[in-house]
Copies of this chain bind each other. A is one copy, B any other.
Amino acid sequence: MTKKLVFGHKNPDTDTICSAIVYAELKNKIGDEVEAVRLGEVSGETKYALDYFQVEAPRFVETVANEVDQVILVDHNESQQSADDIDQVQVTEVIDHHRIANFETNGPLFYRAEPVGCTATILTKMFKENKQEISKQTAGLLLSCIISDSLLFKSPTCTNEDVEVAKELASIADVDADSYGLDMLKAGADISGLSTSDLLTLDAKEFTMGESKVEIAQVNTVDTNEVLERKAEIVSEIEATVSNKNLDLFVFVITDILTNDSTTIVIGEKSEAVNKAFEVQLENNQAVLAGVVSRKKQIVPPLSDQLS
Contact = CB atoms under 8 A, between A and B. Distances in A.
Nearest to A209: B106
Interface string A151-179: 00000000000000000000000000000
Interface in A103-126: 103-115
A98 B108 CA distance: 5
Interface stretch (A19-27, A36-44, A250-258, A300-308): A300-308
B110 A106 contact: no
Given A106-B304, A108-B114, A111-B112, 13 more contacts: A92-B115, A98-B108, A99-B106, A100-B100, A100-B111, A106-B301, A106-B308, A107-B300, A108-B113, A108-B115, A110-B115, A111-B111, A111-B113
A205 interface: no
A128 to B, nearest CB: 11
Contacts of A3: none
A108 B112 contact: no
Interface residues of A, number: 28
Q: How many copies does the complex hold?
A: 2
The 6 closest A-B pairs by CB, nearest first: A111-B113, A108-B115, A101-B104, A106-B304, A99-B105, A107-B301
Q: What is the predominant secondary structure among interface residues of chain A facing chain B?
A: loop
A103 B304 CA distance: 15
A113 B110 contact: yes
A295 B4 CA distance: 27
A97 B106 contact: no
A81 B113 CA distance: 21
